[in-house]
């Protein structure tokens, strides 16, 4: 009952928003992007990082993998989320509206990646030396 | 019907840390974070005061009538609102990825549905995943000036938010009992499932991992929301290179030196009454100075010292001392947001002014020379630059 009432209250609201947005410019493009959002995560992003993680675990069994896994994931997260600035995707628009050049993001990402692995290495070194189990 | 191979087969998913406790904790974290992002998003929609002439981007007949007079105090209200919206929005991303990882086996359950209740629930879950990823992706792209889509960002992000709120409301009502049950049954005390692989990370470790992701995204961006010397710490934010960023240059807006030169006049209208001021006339009026932030909807802020004529003074000189609203129009000949209406409270606010100078010097062309609006706590783009006409309603 609870499940059905929840759906009967809120699905019509969602349907209203989806139907209303169809009145605007490039509406089919909105639908395409909504469908692509699920496909991109469930059938591209998740399988890719799962396969990469599996390969990493085969090469480095046990919790030691985390000293690679965590900095690698944080670096990739920065790359994906700031893809537009790092790759200069918005550079044309940005320069036109702000009057500034868009530069240095890609090289900064490389330095941040190096720093993330360096922090991981320091934590690994300290934990190994103090005899604390090198696990998370 | 036999289950297809791969992830549809029982035993395919090997991590022992998946379970109601992990999913529940990640869900609660996401509920708090997305509540902040959604609330600040809808507040920003209201801050644009869509019921005043020229302000609505989504037409009134396709919108909810929920508005109120956006306050003018504290001055940093809109800056805080948008800093939360954009930075907490970034922090959602790694927690959402972790949450989806924790429940991904359910995507491949076989048979796909066990009856109508589950069918409708899977539909609402699809809407929730779709709208979450859509909102985060479009928001991130907009803040970074990348427009690979053909639709209007504001329109799609607004209706996408309504789909998201509807879908998460269903999800919370349906799933919250499972979260409570996991707490009551002390799920976190139970051993992880023994028949799977050895864990390489603990459940708490995974939550901390997602938290670290939220931390690096926050550190990469938040400097542009704080401004000052911390602006440079925003290593990946677009607005880190200038202490006084320009949202739109004069060249991009089509403002030429002829339009703002000796022939420039500010025209004030109240009904049929028209008053005109040259820039010298405006400088001869009583001047007011105030330190106020400009806060962009995209989450960057800059605070400067502005000098100019109070809007209440202009209203009085125009012949509408108790003006109920004013439509401010830029010299720009086209483009969205070339005009914006202000409310009675915003005209009357003590620090609301038509600025002529910033930090003691004349405004630069890119910052709105000869004159621009500055109103406390107003969304950045409504502080109209290159003001040509102000039409007061008595």
Is B275 in contact with B319 (CB distance < 8 Å)? Answer: yes
Residue A38 at interface with chain B, using a CB cutoff of 8 Å: yes
* Alpha carbons B221 and A78: distance in angstroms, whole number: 11
Buried b (16+ CB within 10 A) or exposed e, B124-150: bbbbbbbbbbbbbbbbbbbbbbbbebe
What pLDDT score does A100 carry? Answer: 87
B65 CB contacts (<8 Å, ≥6 apart)? Answer: none
- For B33, the token pair is 């974070």
CA nearest B203 in A: which residue? A136
Question: Any idea of the CA torsion for B195, B209, A131, B15, to the nearest 10 degrees?
Answer: 10
Mean pLDDT for all residues in chain B: 95
pLDDT at B24 exceeding the cut of 70: yes
Across residues A93-110, what is the average pLDDT?
90
Mutation target to probe the A interface, by most A beta carbons within 10 A, among B8, B166, B250 is: B166
Does the pTM of the predicted model rise above 0.80?
A: yes
Q: In angstroms, rounded to a whole number, what is the distance separating the alpha carbons of residues B336 and B338?
A: 6
Chain B: nearest CA to A123, how far in angstroms?
Answer: 15
Which residue, among A35, A37, A54, has the nearest Cα to A45 in the 3D structure?
A37
Scanning every residue of chain B, which has its alpha carbon at the shortest distance from the alpha carbon of A65?
B200
Which one of A1, A76, A81 would you mutate to disrupt binding with B, by most B Cβ within 10 Å of its Cβ?
A81
Least confident of B56-60, B275-279, B318-322: B56-60
Asked if A74 and A117 count as a contact pair (C-beta separation under 8 A), the reply is no
pLDDT higher than threshold 70 for residue B161: yes
Nearest CA in chain B to A101: B241
pLDDT category of residue A99 using cuts at 50, 70 and 90: confident
Residue A134 has pLDDT above 70, yes or no: no
Length of chain A equals 136
Q: Contacts of residue B203 in chain A, CB cutoff 8 Å?
A: none
Q: Are B287 and B351 in contact (CB under 8 A)?
A: no
Residue B370 to residues A112, B307, B326, Cα–Cα distance (Å): 43, 12, 19
Cβ contact, residue pair A14, B127, below 8 Å: yes
Residue B37, both tokens: 């992002």
Confidence of residue A82 (pLDDT cuts 50, 70, 90): very high
Q: What is the helix (H) or strand (E) element at residue B361, kind and residue range?
A: strand B361-362
Burial class (CB in 10 A: 0-12, 13-18, 19+), B286: exposed
The answer to whether the CB of B208 falls within 8 A of the CB of A57 is no
Q: For chain A, what is the total number of helices (H) and then of strands (E)? A: 7, 0
Residue B153 has a pLDDT of 96
Residues B69-93: tens digit of each pLDDT:
999 999 999 999 999 999 999 999 9
Per domain, the residue ranges of chain B are: 6-240, 250-393
Q: CA B246, CA B230: separation in Å to the nearest integer? A: 18
Chain B residues with CB inside 8 Å of A46's CB? 100-101, 104
Which segments of chain B does DSSP mark as H helices, in order? Answer: 20-47, 77-107, 116-143, 153-184, 203-221, 223-226, 250-253, 257-260, 279-284, 311-318, 344-348
pLDDT at A135: 52
pLDDT digits over B208-223, tens only? 999 999 999 999 999 9
What is the band of B232 on the pLDDT scale with cuts at 50, 70, 90?
very high
Whether the predicted pLDDT of A76 surpasses 80:
yes
Residues B197-215 have a mean pLDDT of 95
The residue of chain B with its CA nearest to that of A25 is: B151
CA–CA separation, B264 vs B368, rounded Å? Answer: 13
CA distances from B264 to B258, B362, B373 (A): 8, 15, 16
Strand partners, B393: B325
User: Percent of chain A, pLDDT > 70?
Assistant: 96
Average pLDDT of the residues in B150-167: 97
Q: What is the percentage of chain B residues whose pLDDT exceeds 90?
A: 91
Q: How far apart are CA A3 and CA A8, in angstroms?
A: 9
Q: What is the CA radius of gyration of chain A?
A: 22
DSSP string, A58-72: HHS-SGGGHHHHHHH
Superfamily for the B250-393 domain: Oxidoreductase, molybdopterin-binding domain (3.90.420.10)
Could B149 and A73 be called an inter-chain contact, meaning their C-beta atoms sit closer than 8 Å? Answer: no
Instruction: Please name the member of A10, A90, A96 whose beta carbon is closest to the beta carbon of B146.
Output: A90
Q: Which residue has tokens 């004529």?
A: B309
Q: Taking the CA atoms of chain B, what radius of gyration do you get in angstroms?
A: 26
Question: Across the interface, do B107 and A42 touch by the CB < 8 Å criterion?
Answer: yes
Mutate to test the interface with B, among A1, A2, A8, A10 (most CBs of B within 10 A): A10
Q: Are B292 and B374 in contact (CB under 8 A)?
A: yes
CB contact under 8 A, B150 and A13: no
Is B145 close to A73, i.e. CB distance below 8 A?
no
Contact check, Cβ <8 Å, A81/B93 = yes
Nearest residue to B43 (alpha-carbon basis) of B77, B75, B11, B4: B77
pLDDT for residue B187 is more than 90:
no
Give the Cα separation of B340 and B330 in Å (integer): 9
What residues of chain B lie within 8 A of the CB of A10, using their CB? 124, 166-167, 169-170
Q: Considering only CB atoms, which chain B residues are within 8 Å of A74? A: 212-213, 216
User: Does residue B294 carry a pLDDT above 70?
Assistant: yes
Bridge-partner residues for B303, per DSSP?
B293
Asked if B374 and B355 touch (Cβ cutoff 8 Å), the reply is: yes
Under an 8 A CB cutoff, do B150 and A25 touch?
yes
* CB contacts < 8 A (A, B): 205
Range from A35-44, B41-50, B183-192 carrying the lowest mean pLDDT? B183-192
Closest CA to A71 of A12, A121, A19, A136: A121
Question: In this complex, which of B94, B120, B249 lies closest to A99 when CB atoms are compared?
Answer: B249
Give the distance from CA B130 to its chain's centroid: 20
Distance from CA of B129 to the nearest CA of A (A): 6
Instruction: Label residue B335 by pLDDT band (50, 70, 90).
Output: confident
* pLDDT surpassing 80 at residue A1: yes
Specify the pLDDT at position A133: 62
The predicted model gives B152-172 an average pLDDT of: 97
Segment B111-119 shows an average pLDDT of: 94
Strand partners, B270: B273, B392
Q: Which of A63-77, B237-251, B368-382 has the lowest mean pLDDT?
A: B237-251
- Residue B188, pLDDT > 80, answer no
Residue A112 forms contact with B (CB below 8 Å): yes
Contact A108 B236 (CB under 8 A): yes
Closest-approach residue (CA) in chain A for B248: A97
DSSP state of B297: T
What one-character-per-residue DSSP string does B69-87 give?
A: -----STTHHHHHHHHHHH
Q: pLDDT tens digits, residue range B350-366? A: 999 999 999 999 999 99
Q: Kindly list the residues from chain B whose CB atom is less than 8 angstroms away from the CB atom of residue A81.
A: 90, 93, 140, 217, 236
Q: What is the mean pLDDT of residues B28-32?
A: 98
* CA gap A123, A115 in Å, rounded: 12
Phi, psi of B338 (to 5 degrees): -80, -5
Task: Using a CB–CB cutoff of 8 Å, tell me whether A73 touches chain B.
Answer: yes
Name every residue whose Cβ is closer than 8 Å to that of residue B321 and which is 6 or more positions away in sequence: B312, B315
**Å between A43 CA and nearest CA of chain B:** 11
Interface touch B252/A20, C-beta < 8 Å: no
Q: Which of A54-58, A94-98, B344-348, B369-373 has the lowest mean pLDDT?
A: A94-98
**Residue bearing the bigger pLDDT, B350 or B191:** B350
Q: Does A107 touch chain B (CB under 8 A)?
A: no
């Amino acid at each position: 009952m609870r499940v059905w009432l929840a759906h009967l209250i809120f699905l019509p609201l969602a349907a209203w928003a989806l139907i209303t947005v169809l009145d605007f410019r490039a509406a089919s493009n909105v639908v395409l992007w909504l469908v692509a959002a699920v496909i991109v995560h469930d059938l591209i992003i998740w399988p890719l990082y799962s396969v990469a993680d599996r390969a990493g675990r085969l090469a480095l069994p046990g919790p030691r993998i985390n000293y690679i896994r965590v900095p690698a994931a944080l670096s990739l997260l920065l790359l994906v989320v700031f893809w537009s600035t790092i790759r200069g995707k918005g550079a044309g628009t940005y320069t036109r509206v702000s009057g500034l050049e868009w530069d240095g993001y890609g090289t900064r990402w490389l330095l941040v990646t190096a720093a993330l692995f360096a922090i991981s290495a320091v934590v690994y070194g300290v934990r190994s030396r103090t005899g604390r189990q090198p696990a998370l | 019907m036999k289950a297809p191979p791969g992830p549809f087969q029982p035993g395919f998913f090997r991590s022992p840390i998946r379970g109601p406790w992990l999913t529940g904790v990640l869900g609660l974290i996401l509920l708090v974070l997305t509540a902040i992002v959604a609330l600040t998003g809808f507040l920003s929609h209201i801050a644009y005061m869509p019921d005043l002439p020229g302000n609505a981007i989504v037409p009134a007949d396709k919108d909810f009538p929920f508005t109120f007079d956006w306050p003018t105090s504290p001055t940093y209200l809109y800056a805080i609102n948008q800093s939360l919206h954009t930075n907490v929005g970034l922090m959602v991303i790694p927690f959402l990825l972790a949450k989806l990882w924790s429940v991904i086996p359910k995507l491949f359950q076989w048979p796909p549905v066990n009856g109508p209740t589950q069918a409708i629930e899977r539909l609402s879950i699809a809407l929730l995943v779709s709208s979450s990823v859509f909102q985060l992706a479009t928001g991130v792209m907009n803040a970074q000036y990348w427009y690979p889509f053909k639709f209007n960002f504001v329109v799609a992000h607004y209706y996408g938010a309504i789909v998201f709120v509807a879908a998460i409301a269903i999800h919370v009502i349906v799933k919250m009992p499972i979260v409570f049950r996991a707490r009551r049954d002390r799920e976190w005390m139970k051993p992880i499932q023994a028949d799977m692989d050895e864990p390489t990370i603990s459940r708490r470790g995974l939550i901390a991992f997602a938290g670290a992701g939220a931390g690096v995204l926050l550190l990469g961006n938040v400097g542009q929301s704080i401004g000052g010397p911390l602006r440079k710490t925003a290593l990946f934010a677009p607005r880190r290179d200038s202490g006084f960023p320009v949202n739109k240059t004069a060249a991009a807006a089509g403002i030429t030196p002829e339009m703002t030169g000796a022939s420039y006049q500010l025209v004030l209208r109240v009904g049929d009454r028209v008053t005109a001021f040259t820039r010298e006339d405006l400088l001869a009026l009583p001047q007011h100075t105030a330190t106020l932030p400009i806060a962009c909807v995209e989450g960057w802020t800059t605070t400067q010292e502005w000098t100019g004529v109070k809007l209440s003074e202009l209203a009085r000189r125009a012949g509408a001392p108790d003006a109920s609203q004013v439509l401010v129009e830029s010299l720009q000949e086209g483009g969205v947001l070339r005009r914006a209406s202000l409310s009675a409270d915003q005209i009357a606010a003590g620090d609301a002014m038509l600025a002529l100078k910033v930090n003691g010097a004349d405004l630069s062309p890119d910052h709105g020379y000869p004159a621009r609006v500055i109103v406390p706590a107003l969304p950045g783009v409504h502080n109209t630059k290159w003001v040509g006409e102000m039409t007061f309603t008595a």
